[in-house]
Chains A and B, each alone.
Chain A
Amino acid sequence: MVQLVGPLSKELADSVSSCKILVVGAGGIGCELLKNLVLTGFKNIEVIDLDTIDVSNLNRQFLFQKKHVGKSKAQVAKESVLRFCPSANITAYHDSIMNPDYNVEFFRSFQLVMNALDNRAARNHVNRMCLAADIPLIESGTAGYLGQVTVIKKGVTECYECQPKPTQKTFPGCTIRNTPSEPIHCIVWAKYLFNQLFGEEDADQEVSPDTADPEAAWNPEDTAARATASDQDGDIKRVSTKDWARSTGYDPVKLFNKVSSGFILCLFKDDIMYLLTMDKLWKKRKAPVPLDWAEMLQLGEDPGCGTGLKDQQVLNVGGYSRLFQHSVETLRSQLADKGDGAELVWDKDDPPAMDFVTAAANLRMHIFSMNMKSRFDVKSMAGNIIPAIATTNAVIAGLIVLEALKVLNSDIQQCRTIFLNKQPNPRKKLLVPCALDRPNPNCYVCASKPEVTVKLNVHKTIVQALQDKILKEKFGMVAPDVQIEDGKGTILISSEEGETEANNGKMLSDFGIRNGSRLQADDFLQDYTLLVNVLHSEELPKDVEFEVVGDAPDKAPPSKAPEEEKSITNGNKDSAQPSTSSKAVVEEDDLLIVDSDEEPSSSTADVSTETSSLKRKHQDAETGEAASKRKRLDQQSADDDDDIIALD
């Protein structure tokens, strides 16, 4: 005779109340998830989130109220949940899950881990920790009306990294610097400009014309014309704001106007005139039109319209000129107030910083004949804001708990990847369950001996780049240790601070690394070893430092019909910085790739009767190709606003 405890069988109810679970993230999905968990009877919950509460969270992160803005999400979430379930045993950590304190042993203390994250780096990390600890992981994501849930179990299902996810879309330097054709290019440029003036200078974030643009290939005769278009010393490089502070002596504010208007003239006039001399660029494109700054400042503004959001108004070029000047002054004093050697970090929620990017981007759009955008729209693009609502998170969090119950019931065969669509598919499904895939035997994370081949130039790649751009950014390691397999076990990189710092600036070739060399990279926290085969090449495309052999190329996807635009990315954040931290560059709830693929022709009727729910990857709906090249991994919405952009 079945015994019920509420809706659950007694057996399941007992498992639920005795098990210990970890929730990673207390934001949009996290709040809904915590509520569902305690109401279902889960008693022992630990929740971790490094972020603090922002007013824009309040439309969906319902455990928080206005009075909590600025406080720790994990902490307040715990307190709010205890109000309606005082018997729950909740531990809250205001911390990053990537902190080495949360080691394999920590993960092993749980029966189940549930992600409620918004960035890929953390997801990769938790994926590895759960593999190392052999604990089941429920992964999920939402964006707008779309969402997805899936279950990951070592050796049984695909891990989070079995299928390569598209990396954030980046734009070639010459597009940003010379030939922008879309508003986003201008916005990226404006953010680079911010950093050049007020923030951490980055060699990859140049804003001046790119003289090495392969498209330009100008004639030597034009040198004279170019010289007059550039500044006094014939150099296109600009002097940074920090250098101004030093050069203008004691009264930087007074002299600022003189210096800054000179600077502004360069940005929006002289540099543009320089670009015009690279006439090959403009044979098939509309040429940019330099700004007459003095004229712009005199231009009156359009009267605003009353009923819209103030931020949604689009000013005219006069308005943006004044906004630019004003925001530069404000930022300049912010910087001065911070003292010597200070830097500002761009933050979309810092009004002058946002004003600056809005203004600079719009001025550039105007120069390049694009329709200017409102501050509201610029903020979306510059801040990588993903729109979010309560109901989508509510549905996904409900599905997470239902999957959790199956896992606890040792029913992994019943577990599914479930996609939430905006509209029902032709088979009337709004929620589409799909059988889980088996692990990829060639996965560079969960395969028994993961191995990759990386194409790079050993004479031009420095050790620091190997560590930061390849091992950390691309391969998700947090604290890599690298040995060269040269018979001597030469240590190239040590995760211990300071030990191999001297190596950072040296070329790989300085260590005898050449074509065919093998490097063993370990992340001991993640219990992860990756063998990297070096493929030396001197023919990498411009702006490309390395390529992983076997990856699909990072190109913009072909545009597709709207109803197939169900792609949600794995995050517009590669890094794990919280949205409210000062280092935040991007934000908002992250999401998994939503597949527009339907279930395979064995319909729902079969799903429950399948003897093995773990099937071979099913056909790609669009091309019919085998899933190893499945389109969904490359899918990105054709909508600019949803594009993944590297804006850090």
Chain B
Amino acid sequence: MIDMIEKEENIISEEEAAQYDRQIRLWGLDAQKRLRGSRVLLVGLRGLGAEVAKNLILAGVKGLTLLDHEQVTEESRRAQFLIPVDANGQNHAQASLERAQFLNPMVEVKADTDQVESKSDDFFLQFDAVCLTGCSKDLMMHVDQLCASKNIKVFCGDVFGYHGYMFSDLGQEHHYVEEKPKIVKPSEETNDGPEVKKPKIDPNETTMVKRTASFCSLKEALEIDWTSEEVKGRLKRTPSDYFLLQVLLKFRTDKGRNPDPASYAEDSQLLLQIRDDVLEALGVNADLLPDSFVSYCFSEMAPVCAVVGGVLGQEIVKALSQRDAPHRNFFFFDGLKGSGVVDYFCAK
């Protein structure tokens, strides 16, 4: 899908050149053209979804479909800046559409109010990349499996209070280029200056190097047996956020929603219980995740949505433009510590 740049998109208009100038100067014209030919599906329009939507629309993708079947509530629009104030009760995607479109009229923004689960497999094939937020673990694994086999790039992400993560599956063979400084040999005709005597890294000239990266599925990333000897050794250097994610996904599966500040007492208790169960099932010690975690994983913190949405948005841009090394395969952000870590998890 991504290898095909639609013919009519080959010329950049003056309007686009002027608007995208500062980013073309960063990632180059080719990358911008690939973005312009890409269609993305974004599931979930809460705080994180709004950030990702903004970032992709500003970047100049061809089309962005906003998919969300739920209604706007006081809580769901806490960190959401696309939904107008009087939109309680409206569908998230519909309510976000107008402001999203205003961000960049050159992008085709659409709203879809269906449930993801109700979509046929074919539905996903029209996209070059799919980004899932606020989805259950099972749904994410299912969509990931479906899309990765069709060379559709898959991204997942969520924000829980001060914590957030993103996951990517760019397939078994993701091709991209990296810009490296060119090394100038003395025998070559040196015409970027009259005074060159020895080989040097010419800061003015760069060259594109082709690379390939391989990614595993979400299922393989989440279903690791931590009791095996090789894996146990890694435990010390594994961010606890990985386990926090497992706990929160389990909560979501069990309760059909995220922890809610309105039922803080009840939900905190449940979270602690789930923590014990999940960690035990994974074969790791419960004190990997001390009790204090419960006070910091409720609701969506706007600044955390901004950080995670920024990293996630940029990863989608990188994957679509096939430029620069992708983060592989998780990014965890801890808003209390200000730490952002990239780590690779795979059962194989």
Asked if B156 CB lies within 8 Å of chain A CBs, one says no
Asked if B26 and A430 make an inter-chain contact with CB atoms under 8 angstroms apart, the answer reads no
The interface residues of chain A lying within 8 Å CB-to-CB of B181 are 562, 638-639
Asked if B204 CB lies within 8 Å of chain A CBs, one says yes
Q: Which among A308, A387, A428 is the interface contact of B26 at CB below 8 angstroms?
A: A387
Given A395-B311, A423-B325; A430-B21 close (CB under 8 Å): no
Interface residues on A, range: 35 or more
Asked if B283 CB lies within 8 Å of chain A CBs, one says no
The CA of A145 and the CA of B318, in the complex, are separated in Å by: 12
Q: Beta-carbon contacts of B227-254 to A below 8 Å, as 1s and 0s? A: 0000000000000000000000000000
Q: Beta-carbon contacts of B190-220 to A below 8 Å, as 1s and 0s? A: 0111110000110110000000000000000
Asked if B203 and A639 make an inter-chain contact with CB atoms under 8 angstroms apart, the answer reads yes
The interface residues of chain B lying within 8 Å CB-to-CB of A35 are 81, 302, 306
Asked if B341 and A428 make an inter-chain contact with CB atoms under 8 angstroms apart, the answer reads yes
Asked if B194 and A84 make an inter-chain contact with CB atoms under 8 angstroms apart, the answer reads no
Asked if A431 and B338 make an inter-chain contact with CB atoms under 8 angstroms apart, the answer reads yes
Q: Which among A65, A376, A433 is the interface contact of B102 at CB below 8 angstroms?
A: A65
Q: Which among A1, A144, A398 is the interface contact of B310 at CB below 8 angstroms?
A: A398
Given A39-B81, A309-B29, A429-B341; A368-B201 close (CB under 8 Å): no
Q: Which among A286, A388, A403, A638 is the interface contact of B22 at CB below 8 angstroms?
A: A388
Asked if B19 and A58 make an inter-chain contact with CB atoms under 8 angstroms apart, the answer reads yes
Asked if B309 and A394 make an inter-chain contact with CB atoms under 8 angstroms apart, the answer reads yes
Asked if A388 and B26 make an inter-chain contact with CB atoms under 8 angstroms apart, the answer reads yes
The interface residues of chain A lying within 8 Å CB-to-CB of B314 are 145, 389, 391-392
Q: Which B residue sits closest to A56, measured CB to CB?
A: B21
Asked if B22 and A389 make an inter-chain contact with CB atoms under 8 angstroms apart, the answer reads yes
Asked if B25 and A385 make an inter-chain contact with CB atoms under 8 angstroms apart, the answer reads yes
Asked if A5 and B58 make an inter-chain contact with CB atoms under 8 angstroms apart, the answer reads no
Asked if A40 and B302 make an inter-chain contact with CB atoms under 8 angstroms apart, the answer reads yes
The interface residues of chain A lying within 8 Å CB-to-CB of B11 are 306-307
List residues of A (386-414) whose CB comes within 8 Å of B's CBs.
387-395, 397-403, 405, 414
List residues of B (290-348) whose CB comes within 8 Å of A's CBs.
295-296, 298-307, 309-311, 313-314, 317, 324-325, 327, 331, 333, 335-343
The CA of A419 and the CA of B105, in the complex, are separated in Å by: 33
Asked if A608 CB lies within 8 Å of chain B CBs, one says yes
Asked if B82 CB lies within 8 Å of chain A CBs, one says yes
Asked if A418 CB lies within 8 Å of chain B CBs, one says yes
The CA of A132 and the CA of B16, in the complex, are separated in Å by: 45
The interface residues of chain B lying within 8 Å CB-to-CB of A39 are 47, 78-81, 302
Q: Which B residue sits closest to A5, measured CB to CB?
A: B261
Asked if A562 and B29 make an inter-chain contact with CB atoms under 8 angstroms apart, the answer reads no
Asked if A286 and B194 make an inter-chain contact with CB atoms under 8 angstroms apart, the answer reads yes
Given A7-B161, A145-B26, A309-B24; A430-B342 close (CB under 8 Å): yes
Q: Which among A371, A390, A637 is the interface contact of B191 at CB below 8 angstroms?
A: A371
Asked if B124 CB lies within 8 Å of chain A CBs, one says no
Interface of B is mostly: mixed
List residues of B (79-112) whose CB comes within 8 Å of A's CBs.
79-85, 99, 102-105
Asked if A390 and B55 make an inter-chain contact with CB atoms under 8 angstroms apart, the answer reads yes
Q: Beta-carbon contacts of A437-473 to B below 8 Å, as 1s and 0s? A: 0000000000000000000000000000000000000
Q: Which among A60, A285, A640 is the interface contact of B58 at CB below 8 angstroms?
A: A60
Q: Which B residue sits closest to A147, measured CB to CB?
A: B310
The interface residues of chain A lying within 8 Å CB-to-CB of B60 are 59
Asked if B23 CB lies within 8 Å of chain A CBs, one says yes
Given A398-B304, A559-B201, A562-B180; A430-B194 close (CB under 8 Å): no
Q: Which among B10, B26, B324, B325 is the interface contact of A307 at CB below 8 angstroms?
A: B10
Min C-beta distance of A286 to chain B, whole Å: 3
Asked if B203 and A401 make an inter-chain contact with CB atoms under 8 angstroms apart, the answer reads no
Asked if A604 CB lies within 8 Å of chain B CBs, one says yes
Asked if B12 CB lies within 8 Å of chain A CBs, one says yes
Q: Which among B27, B192, B311, B335 is the interface contact of A430 at CB below 8 angstroms?
A: B311
Asked if B51 CB lies within 8 Å of chain A CBs, one says yes
The CA of A392 and the CA of B315, in the complex, are separated in Å by: 12
List residues of B (1-18) whose CB comes within 8 Å of A's CBs.
10-12, 17-18
Asked if A32 CB lies within 8 Å of chain B CBs, one says yes
The interface residues of chain B lying within 8 Å CB-to-CB of A256 are none
Asked if B55 and A311 make an inter-chain contact with CB atoms under 8 angstroms apart, the answer reads no
Asked if A268 CB lies within 8 Å of chain B CBs, one says no
Asked if A430 and B12 make an inter-chain contact with CB atoms under 8 angstroms apart, the answer reads no
The CA of A390 and the CA of B342, in the complex, are separated in Å by: 21
Q: Which A residue sits closest to B78, measured CB to CB?
A: A6
Q: Which among A55, A84, A311, A380 is the interface contact of B85 at CB below 8 angstroms?
A: A84
Asked if A297 CB lies within 8 Å of chain B CBs, one says no
The interface residues of chain B lying within 8 Å CB-to-CB of A343 are none
Asked if A240 CB lies within 8 Å of chain B CBs, one says no
Asked if A431 and B302 make an inter-chain contact with CB atoms under 8 angstroms apart, the answer reads no
Q: Which B residue sits closest to A429, measured CB to CB?
A: B341
The CA of A308 and the CA of B220, in the complex, are separated in Å by: 42
Asked if B261 and A6 make an inter-chain contact with CB atoms under 8 angstroms apart, the answer reads yes
The CA of A144 and the CA of B314, in the complex, are separated in Å by: 12
Asked if B339 and A394 make an inter-chain contact with CB atoms under 8 angstroms apart, the answer reads no
Min C-beta distance of A139 to chain B, whole Å: 15
Asked if A284 CB lies within 8 Å of chain B CBs, one says yes
The interface residues of chain A lying within 8 Å CB-to-CB of B105 are 66
The CA of A285 and the CA of B197, in the complex, are separated in Å by: 10
Asked if B81 and A390 make an inter-chain contact with CB atoms under 8 angstroms apart, the answer reads no
Asked if B54 CB lies within 8 Å of chain A CBs, one says yes
Best-buried of A391, A395, A400, A607 by chain B (most CB within 10 Å): A391
Asked if A394 and B313 make an inter-chain contact with CB atoms under 8 angstroms apart, the answer reads yes
Q: Which A residue sits closest to B33, measured CB to CB?
A: A307
Asked if B226 CB lies within 8 Å of chain A CBs, one says no
Asked if A161 CB lies within 8 Å of chain B CBs, one says no
- 8 of the cross-chain contacts (CB-CB < 8 Å) are A6-B298, A35-B81, A35-B306, A59-B21, A62-B54, A370-B191, A389-B26, A607-B337
Q: Known contacts A84-B99, A397-B306, A429-B342; can you find 10 more A-B pairs with CB under 8 A?
A: A9-B295, A56-B22, A145-B26, A309-B12, A380-B25, A388-B22, A398-B302, A424-B327, A424-B341, A562-B180
Chain A residues at the B interface, C-beta cutoff of 8 Å: 1-9, 32, 35-36, 39-40, 55-56, 58-60, 62, 65-66, 83-86, 144-145, 181-183, 284-287, 306-312, 368-371, 376, 380, 385, 387-395, 397-403, 405, 414, 416, 418, 420, 422-424, 428-433, 559, 562, 588, 604, 607-608, 637-640
